[in-house]
Structure 1
């Protein structure tokens, strides 16, 4: 083979910004295969136009994109790569916003205390009959699930028609964030003595919730959007712990006033946590 238009691995390493060790690894994993390997010395040679690919690999790995994902993206078209980069940027901005909100919330708790920013009260929650649609998801799938679930549930309610007795709410059976999945239930309460739902879609059920005591706080506008709203959950949990109550069920997110846009100034949400007196 004519090697005059090929770069030996040392020169290619300098031009592409990847170490010789990294180039050997990317060769073994099929991400960047040399054009020619000397059968005697085992020395690797690369085409000059592969320098651009090497620089793309370096940039993608600096973004912490896994090697297998890099290989897949480079094997696809430019449109797929552009879409993946935009999605990665959105995810990075979201993580940064979560970190920023977490730091501000922690600073507020350390310097002011949660009760300075979130007033917690107790209210009595009546027994309810509810429509429920559940799914095990993390935060990335939460918005899409809730929108689809409530659209389907309101269609069922309209066929009754059911007499709804309160605002829609969500029950979280555990931590739901970008790193943890949990069972999330979209709920609609309706009058038990009125029309009853029929022909429920698969996965939708009717359930009875008993009367319960709830520790609550409300947030509005941007404070009601993720991740800022996490501070409200923390405030209620801290209040329950400090006042020696027991956690008595999944926390609820109640849509007191909802515009349909997550950070709209007119939104008003309530965090309501079932509580009970601690066991003796």
Structure 2
């Protein structure tokens, strides 16, 4: 048998925690000395302790932990719970990391206010283009809502292009529009993941083939870096539009000029925003 101190060290928990578990009947010692009150534990009790800690780390209350253990939760069930929790925590960590990157980018932009040059904005005509595309709804224009939608759309796009034999002839083009369909709440956004194909391409049942109209007058800017910093380039566009007496028409297209799956810092996109004289 092990003293409470030794058992706590073996289980990587505190003595105070073991005393609390004993007090609420969650993990009682194998023997308690009637004269001294010292608690003693057996090695087999580490199995129950491991389950208690694992379930508690899932966010369950100790009362719920006790109920689950009393129901003799199997190892397979416990593994399933832990895998689910791990996936949830990884998703939360990824979201928090993306949010932190966005916050840092906005802080840098605030520091640079008044120094952002609009010299990189180019006004030009955009030719019409034939594209294959897939579409899906996102909750808003926020990058945290767009990213999880457009990534899978492009993954599915490449799979279907390969299956149908349609070959891309140009760059991927993403564009967005408000969801005006039945049940649209005015907040949701229809996300289009498109790629240029040869003019006249047809016969791809699994893809939406359409002609994107040309843009007579587009304010454009090349954005280098991850898309969660796109707002910086968009604000430069906004300043140029305002300074030069234009107003935007619709929403920007994003043309992917360079994509590095390993490092978003190497991404290059051209933002194309249709404008007209105010």
Alignment TM-score, normalising by the size of structure 2: 0.60
CA deviation digits over 1:85-126, x for unaligned, max 9? 254234324323323333332442344447249932222111
Give the counterpart of 2:151 among 140, 143, 148.
Answer: 143
Cα contact 2:215–2:274 (8 A) shared by 1:
no
1:122 corresponds to 2:123: yes
Question: Within 2, Cα distance between the matches of 1:257 and 1:114?
Answer: 27
Aligned length: 217
Alignment TM-score, normalising by the size of structure 1: 0.59
CA deviation digits over 1:251-274, x for unaligned, max 9? 211111234445263x32212222
In structure 2, the CA distance between the partners of 1:52 and 1:186, relative to structure 1 (3 Å rule), is: same
Write out aligned runs for 1:217-228 (5 A). 217-220=221-224, 223=225, 225-228=226-229
Question: Within 1, Cα distance between the matches of 2:82 and 2:244?
Answer: 52
Cα contact 1:255–1:270 (8 A) shared by 2:
yes
Unaligned stretches of 5+ residues in structure 1 = 1-10, 17-44
CA deviation digits over 1:138-157, x for unaligned, max 9? 3223212112124424654x
Match of 2:44 in 1: none
Match of 2:134 in 1: 133
In structure 2, the CA distance between the partners of 1:231 and 1:87, relative to structure 1 (3 Å rule), is: farther
What's the secondary structure of 2:171's corresponding residue?
coil
Write out aligned runs for 1:51-130 (5 A). 59-61=57-59, 76-113=77-114, 115-116=116-117, 119-130=120-131
In structure 2, the CA distance between the partners of 1:169 and 1:89, relative to structure 1 (3 Å rule), is: same
What's the secondary structure of 1:148's corresponding residue?
helix
Deviation at 1:80, TM superposition (A): 4.2
Match of 2:271 in 1: 271
Cα contact 2:132–2:207 (8 A) shared by 1:
no
Q: Larger C-alpha radius of gyration, 1 or 2?
A: 2
C-alpha RMSD of matched pairs (Å): 4.1
